[in-house]
Homo-oligomer: A and B are copies of this chain.
């Protein structure tokens, strides 16, 4: 509306303005400002001064259109309100800023459709690269496509076997196994695991896997071999297959990996029945507190519980309290993720701490390295977890 007046005040200064002020050509001004090619020191200084005087700020849009680079990263995660992702996001934004990048954020709530939409929008905005905590480890066609189109992708938290992208994860299996070992070392034999996994996965496990989170009545006995099969089946899957809907188990999911670790530890301790105390619910559908309540109502209830994340730990603690159980005297509790409250409240929780910020920062660095052209083989970084022993593990009650 007031754009027609050619008076200086409002319109932001452009390269032609600076060039005019400095008495050089646009090209020289551009070279001096963007710092490339060759410019005489004298000219460079005049341009600098002119730019300063006019308060020149480069139009990143125009620049991006030419260079094809926006210095913007896309972060696609499940839910920023989950402390784990909040920490990861913090790591991402900080590392990005340190490297001169900004980040566009998208939440998916573990919904593959939302993830696809987010990736599309982000691409349309021409992000230089994508950091994705994939909602599914098999439904990854959109990621494969975007990656193939030349947009670097780094997977965070969960790996997808079919994708030849970099990934940054932790050793979920090992961390879970270690946590269970601690419980075993304290003398526990009836150790439970309460976890939530993606909706889609929960459809897969009923047949022949024995992972079901239903029924409190001790359901199926041992399931040793079927689980062994599951491992084998995915371990030798074609490494470049993009979508493998036939995979019997979605082994890339952190929840499932933690379950594997749980079983490994149990079996190594001679406990072959790894199904009785396993409660694997579905996101948005099951309440961890209910799952735990079922566990505690068992004729022979568990004496220790491993929660696969902090929200679940809250449910476990709540159910224990409701049943009048004290932690750790009556029930030992260990959880993944070291939250503020786990650290501060009593009993202080013994936890498997994930390096949340580092996870994000590492992903950013890997991504930027790709953006800047590195073309080596996909790199799978596994960051170490730390078991922090506090006050929530005790020997099992006499009974």
Contact = CB atoms under 8 A, between A and B. Distances in A.
Contacts of A344: 289, 314-315, 317-318
Given A61-B64, A106-B97, A81 B72 contact: no
Interface string A89-125: 1100110010000111111000000000000011111
Contacts of A72: 104, 125
Given A104-B103, A311-B340, A344-B315, A81 B70 contact: no
Given A60-B124, A125-B60, A317 B340 contact: no
Contacts of A126: 59-61
A121 B102 CA distance: 8
Nearest to A322: B346
A81 to B, nearest CB: 5
Interface size grouping (class) on chain A: 35 or more
Contact of A107 (B57, B90, B289): B90
- How many copies make up the complex? 2
A62 interface: yes
A204 interface: no
Which 5 pairs across A and B sit closest by C-beta, in order of nearness? A314-B344, A341-B341, A318-B344, A86-B86, A81-B86
Given A60-B126, A86-B86, A102-B121, 13 more contacts: A61-B61, A61-B70, A61-B125, A81-B87, A93-B105, A97-B106, A102-B106, A103-B104, A314-B345, A318-B345, A318-B346, A321-B345, A341-B345
Interface of A: 10, 57-62, 64-65, 70, 72, 79-81, 83, 86-87, 89-90, 93-94, 97, 102-107, 121-126, 150, 289, 311, 314-315, 317-318, 321, 339-341, 344-346
